[in-house]
Amino acid sequence: MAGLIVRRLLQLPLILLVIYTLTLTLAWAIPGNPLENPEGRQPPQEVIDQMKAQYNLDNYWAFYTTYLDNATGLKWMREKFDGTHAIDDQMARDQGLAPRVRYVFDLGPSLHYKDQRVNEIVAISLPVSITLGALAMLIALVVGLGAGVVGAVKPNSFADISTLVIALIGISLPSFVIGTVLLIVFGVWTKVLPVGGWGSLSSFVLPAVTLSLPFAAYIARLTRMGMIESLDADYIRTARAKGVSNMNVLFKHALKNAFLPVLSFLGPATALAMTGSFVVERVFNVPGIGQHFVNGVQNKDLFLIMGVVLIFATMLILFNLAVDVLYRWVDPRIE
Amino acid sequence: MFKLLVPVVLLAVVVIVSVVSDRPLPPADFTISNGTDVTTLDIQRASWMQDLRIMRCLFEGLVRHDVFTVGYDPAPAVAQRWEISPDGLVYTFHLRGDARWSNGEAVTAEDFVFSWRRGLLPDTAADYVAFFWMIKGGREFYDWRVNELARFNPKEASADELWERTLAKFNALVGVKALDSRTLRVELEAPVPYFLDIVAFPVFYPVYPPLLRQYERVDPKSGRLKSERGWTKPPRLISNGPFELTVWRFKRDMRMERNPHYWDGANVAIDSIAVPSIEDPNAQVLAFQTGAVDWVANLTVNYRGDIWADKVEFYAEHAAEYEALKARGLDIFEIDRHLPSDPRKNIHAVPSFATYFWNFNCMKTLPDGRANPFRDPRVRRAFAMTVDKRVIVDDIRRLGEPIARGLIPPGSIGGYESPAGLKCLSDAKDERGKLAIAAEARALLAEAGYPDPAEFPPVELLFNKDAGHDLVAQALGKNWQRYLGVPVRLEQKELKVYKDDLKKANYMTSRAGWYGDYGDPTTFLDLLRSDDGNNDRKYDSPEYDALLDAAQAETDPARRLAILSRAERKIMEEDLPMIPLFHYVTMYLFDADKVSGLNPHPRTTQNLFLIDMLGDGKGPDVSRRMGEGAHRPAVAGDDGDTP
């Protein structure tokens, strides 16, 4: 187990480097200039050239290496040990000002949002998305597992068919439709839940439910399939013959095996749910990280694109690792 | 079994930790939907409306606009008084003694020198850098620095030495001097009658130099002054305005609280302003309807025409009262306050400092070598006359936008008289009247050498594909086909391609618009100057240029405005390089019975420190009216040296 973790963690930087190189090359090729706004006032050409030079936007390789230097923490370490940080902080204290905030892994400045660093954007929006994603996965697990078990106990019964129909709706309807319907019913007509924003627990409910539906539907189908298969297995018949109660058969014996495919789905699904959904965030006005994937590309904001893609990639790899570890722990036969 | 619960428990822990650690803020006195989040609070680099709105709360310049006067008159702010030399070239500002930064330090004349130098430096990359070129030596200093940076080679010279030379050059060349810590002397390149209006614009507000010095470094490799981000965030940001920034969670919310060190705090009637970031236009409407937001600053939702139609219906139900109130000269918000309470009246169409128009290409030949029929002013006049602006405003836009007869929105600049403009189809009462105007227009065409309109070269109408411009183009095309009898062709393009065509004058006629930057007719009229970078029509009239030059040389303000009015008459009644169609409106959502302090002036500058929530017990709780000024008693903060 320890070997697996060490091996995967050693692979992580290599995978990230490949993703970094591919994404940067593609993002570099997006037409347009990130420093211009087509509808706004234009600064003089010298000013644009000036900014291009400042951010290395005129030189792919300079950008490539400078970004790596900052994002990997190499620059931070250099400056830490040659004393630059200490001198800076002393200067600030002499002026009676708070010392500057520094990031070990510096993801650079946003090109479009002139006051924001990508680290700050991520620090504000990622916790929101993680919370929303966690709640959505929680709902998806409870609802999905429940529906799956109900369906598997009596295949083709009314309960099974109705969960199938609901699951199909959950998978096939886009979230902007489901989200808007929920919003109108619970926010506008009955006014039991807030129409948007982020703050109290009640404001989490509608976006989390909307985000959870496709995952819940998928989990329900996976559980049902797994349950039907394991309920047919010999060890279940043996358990029943021993006189184990129906509940124990279902939840202790059958579900344990049926859960394994769900578990492997959970890794990528959680990473996906926790890195935000542009649509759900927009409909419910949730300040998550999903919007920055779209805004970044629209504004050709290279630093922001690279930042959110690298965060997503890291989370995806780590969640897959976590699931693999859980997998082995739940089912020690797997090596 | 319990192993299966591990993922569930882990997820639940994440949710609980988040709910416990991230408590919602208490409600603020005033909550606004500012559209998308602020792009920057670095005032010298300001460019966007939503940024300027917040900057006016956090910072304060030498003067500010009194937004409740028709002329948007400059009112004392950090400067208590000022003198202007008789030749209009030298401004001496006397700073008040009790102007303070939010950390309690005094605001000094040196702070302004530092800030304006920052705005002028090419290193800052300010969008509005050209405003600083009005100052004597500004352009020269800017060009010098650009050249020095281009020539800079770290192997031959040191960046610090270049920076020292830059500071010396600025002091020697540029006409901004701190005579003492409370006197600022500004010398201009040429007289600018609207200079005080410009000084009230946020890019001329001060930043706190010690804070900026911490974040700005001279880069040894390029010689440039590089600025790091982070100083605009609370708790680091130090500002000098009525409010200070306490929370800024990007794309989530912003919170401003009363600045205890502000000199005029006694006249601020609210303690806090919340600015949740709501990007989706529909979500903005919902937030307003559920009471989560008090003011939607720019309603862009695509069904706003329908919401406006409800208001028109509401006015119709109270027509007699409405007309009586209007006759009393009340502003549109005051009229609403006198009408019965009704949710339909919460939408407001505020005329804006902006005009939607249709360009003619005025060059002799089109870029592809064809002869250009629109080089002849008589042809342009004929086309401008055969346009039904009423149909565009009432049936296509449906936003209550006023028909434009000139380029400059009437009533937006105090003391300026707008020309009557050319007559057009919408002036006619009935179809017969329209046909009479059309006959006149066809006579003009014949005079210009097109006796048979069917043989007129096909008229191309260029527009970008968004925002309903296609409908406007269709309406124009139909007018010209029907009343002039010329063939037309619509050309719809992507925004970027359209912009490119416009810049290269690669079109016959095209859609365009312009928002004024400052309170002077030249903010619009300069568009038609033959050498102006925004002269997309390539209009080239020595007479017109001469009128603008004459206005520039004129020192008497009234005579100057009269000359500019003549210039506008020339382009709007004789030469018609473009057809003005309508003036834009900005749509607000707010309950006028509850909120006071927003003004309906076409310049649409809102100073949120004037907001008073009516009936909340804070402030005078009396609504403010357009035309009577912002009621600023000079007592607060007087320190005895008022002349």
CB distance B129 to A44 below 8 Å: yes
Domain termination site, one of A43, A78, A94: A94
DSSP B342: -
- The amino acid at residue B410 is P
pTM: 0.85
DSSP B292: S
Taking the C-alpha atoms of residue B410 and residue B353, their distance in angstroms, rounded to an integer, is 9
B419 and chain A: CB distance < 8 Å anywhere?
no
Question: Of the segments A271-275, B270-274, B302-306, which one has the largest average pLDDT value?
Answer: B270-274
Is the same domain home to A232 and A87?
no
CATH code for the domain in which residue A252 is found: 1.10.3720.10
Chain position carrying tokens 């449906």: B398
**Tens-place pLDDT, residues B495-533:** 777 877 887 888 889 998 888 888 889 989 988 888 777
Is the same domain home to A183 and A134?
yes
Residue of A nearest to B126 (CA): A43
- The amino acid at residue A252 is K
Kindly give the interhelix angle for B138-151 and B109-120, rounded to the nearest 10 degrees.
60
Please give the biggest Cα pair distance in chain A. Answer: 85
Residues forming beta bridges with residue B21, ordered by sequence position: none
Phi, psi angles (nearest 5°) of residue A50? -55, -45
Starting at the earlier edge strand, list the strands of the sheet with B347-360.
B243-249, B253-258, B272-276, B30-33, B295-296, B578-589, B347-360, B509-515, B459-464, B488-493
Is the same domain home to A291 and A174?
yes
For residue A284, the chain B residues in CB contact (below 8 A) are 283
Domain for residue B546, yes or no? no
Is the same domain home to A88 and A128?
no
Query: What CA–CA distances, in Å, run from B615 to B192, B291, B593, B618?
Result: 43, 16, 9, 8
A41 and chain B: CB distance < 8 Å anywhere?
yes
Residues forming beta bridges with residue B249, ordered by sequence position: B253
Quick one: which of B566, B565, B563 has its CA closest to B553? B563
**Tens-place pLDDT, residues A192-206:** 888 777 877 888 899
B221 and chain A: CB distance < 8 Å anywhere?
no
Is the same domain home to A33 and A138?
no
Chain position carrying tokens 């401003």: B256
How much is the pLDDT for B223? 87
User: Is A187–B123 a contact, with Cβ atoms under 8 angstroms apart?
Assistant: no
pLDDT over threshold 50, residue B639:
no
DSSP assignment string, B528-559 = GSTT-TT-TT----HHHHHHHHHHHH--SHHH
> Out of A106-110, A151-155, B314-318, which region has the weakest mean confidence (pLDDT)?
A151-155
CB distance A312 to A154 below 8 Å: no
Domain termination site, one of A76, A94, A112: A94
Residue A80: which pLDDT band, with cuts at 50, 70 and 90?
Answer: confident
Summarize the confidence of residues B238-257 as an average pLDDT: 94
Residue of A nearest to B2 (CA): A252
Q: Is A117 in a helix, a strand, or coil? A: strand
CB distance B228 to A100 below 8 Å: yes
Domain for residue A194, yes or no? yes
**Tens-place pLDDT, residues B275-301:** 998 888 888 998 898 888 999 999 988
What is the separation, in whole angstroms, between the first and last Cα of chain B? 86
DSSP assignment string, B111-176 = HHHHHHHHHHSGGG--TTHHHHTTBTTHHHHHHHHHHHHHH--TTTS-HHHHHHHHHHHHHHHSSE
* Residues 6 or more apart in contact with residue B173 via CB below 8 angstroms: B137, B140, B141, B144
Summarize the confidence of residues A166-183 as an average pLDDT: 87
Q: Which domain holds residue B203?
A: 43-228
* Residues 6 or more apart in contact with residue B57 via CB below 8 angstroms: B241, B242, B243, B256, B273, B607, B608, B609
Taking the C-alpha atoms of residue A154 and residue A167, their distance in angstroms, rounded to an integer, is 17
CATH code for the domain in which residue B431 is found: 3.10.105.10
Is the same domain home to A141 and A83?
no
**Tens-place pLDDT, residues B301-334:** 888 889 999 999 999 999 999 999 999 989 999 9
DSSP assignment string, B265-279 = GGG---SEEEEE---
Chain position carrying tokens 């309406």: B475
User: Is B250–A120 a contact, with Cβ atoms under 8 angstroms apart?
Assistant: yes
Query: What percent of chain B has a predicted confidence (pLDDT) above 70?
Result: 98
Is the same domain home to A145 and A222?
yes
Summarize the confidence of residues B419-440 as an average pLDDT: 86
Cis peptide before A287 (omega within 30 of 0): no
Domain termination site, one of B228, B246, B279: B228
Cross-chain CB nearest to B4 (options A197, A201, A256): A256
Instruction: Compute the mean pLDDT over every residue in chain A, rounded to the nearest whole number.
Output: 85
How much is the pLDDT for A153? 83
CB distance B554 to B585 below 8 Å: no
Q: Which domain holds residue A55?
A: 2-94
Taking the C-alpha atoms of residue B304 and residue B307, their distance in angstroms, rounded to an integer, is 5
Chains A–B, number of C-beta pairs less than 8 Å apart = 179
Interface of A with B in 257-276 (CB under 8 A): 259, 263, 266, 270
Q: In A183-332, which ranges are continuous DSSP H helix? A: 202-231, 234-242, 246-248, 255-274, 278-284, 290-298, 302-330
Domain for residue A116, yes or no? no
* Residues 6 or more apart in contact with residue A153 via CB below 8 angstroms: A227, A231, A250
Interface of A with B in 277-296 (CB under 8 A): 282-285, 287, 291
Is the same domain home to A67 and A209?
no
Q: Is B606 in a helix, a strand, or coil? A: coil
Domain for residue A335, yes or no? no
Select from B2, B3, B4, B43 the residue whose CB has the most chain A CBs within 10 Å, as the one to mutate to test that interface.
Answer: B4
- Can you tell me the ipTM of this complex? 0.81
DSSP assignment string, B372-398 = -GGGSHHHHHHHHHT--HHHIIIIII-
B28 and chain A: CB distance < 8 Å anywhere?
no
Summarize the confidence of residues B115-128 as an average pLDDT: 89
**Tens-place pLDDT, residues A209-220:** 999 998 999 999
The sign of the CA dihedral A278, A119, B52, B269 is positive
Residue B641: which pLDDT band, with cuts at 50, 70 and 90?
Answer: very low
Domain for residue A101, yes or no? no
Is the same domain home to A183 and A35?
no
Quick one: which of A323, A309, A303 has its CA closest to A66? A303
Domains of chain A: total: 2
Domains of chain B: total: 2
**Tens-place pLDDT, residues B499-509:** 778 878 888 89
Domain for residue A48, yes or no? yes
Is the same domain home to A143 and A229?
yes
CB distance A163 to A225 below 8 Å: no
Domain for residue A23, yes or no? yes
Interface of A with B in 300-329 (CB under 8 A): 326, 329
User: Is A50–B232 a contact, with Cβ atoms under 8 angstroms apart?
Assistant: no
Taking the C-alpha atoms of residue B42 and residue A97, their distance in angstroms, rounded to an integer, is 18
pLDDT over threshold 70, residue B633:
no
CATH code for the domain in which residue B89 is found: 3.90.76.10
pLDDT over threshold 70, residue A37:
no
A38 and chain B: CB distance < 8 Å anywhere?
yes
DSSP assignment string, B513-528 = EEE--SSSTHHHHGGG
Domain termination site, one of B172, B198, B228: B228
Taking the C-alpha atoms of residue B195 and residue A144, their distance in angstroms, rounded to an integer, is 67
How much is the pLDDT for B634? 41
For residue A195, the chain B residues in CB contact (below 8 A) are 283, 286-287, 290, 292
Is the same domain home to A148 and A246?
yes
For residue A198, the chain B residues in CB contact (below 8 A) are 252
Summarize the confidence of residues A226-245 as an average pLDDT: 85
A108 and chain B: CB distance < 8 Å anywhere?
no
Q: What is the three-state SS of A53-93?
A: HHCCCCCHHHHHHHHHHHHCCHHHHHHHHCCHHHHHHHHHH
DSSP B44: G
Taking the C-alpha atoms of residue B579 and residue B573, their distance in angstroms, rounded to an integer, is 10
**Tens-place pLDDT, residues A299-325:** 888 999 999 999 999 998 998 898 888
For residue B24, the chain A residues in CB contact (below 8 A) are 199-200
Domain for residue B82, yes or no? yes
Domain for residue A112, yes or no? no
**Tens-place pLDDT, residues A66-76:** 999 999 988 88
**Tens-place pLDDT, residues B563-601:** 999 999 999 998 899 999 999 999 999 999 999 999 998
Is the same domain home to A288 and A218?
yes
Q: How many CB atoms lie within 10 A of CB B468?
A: 14
Taking the C-alpha atoms of residue B450 and residue B227, their distance in angstroms, rounded to an integer, is 61
For residue A112, the chain B residues in CB contact (below 8 A) are 39
Domain for residue B102, yes or no? yes
Residue of A nearest to B252 (CA): A287
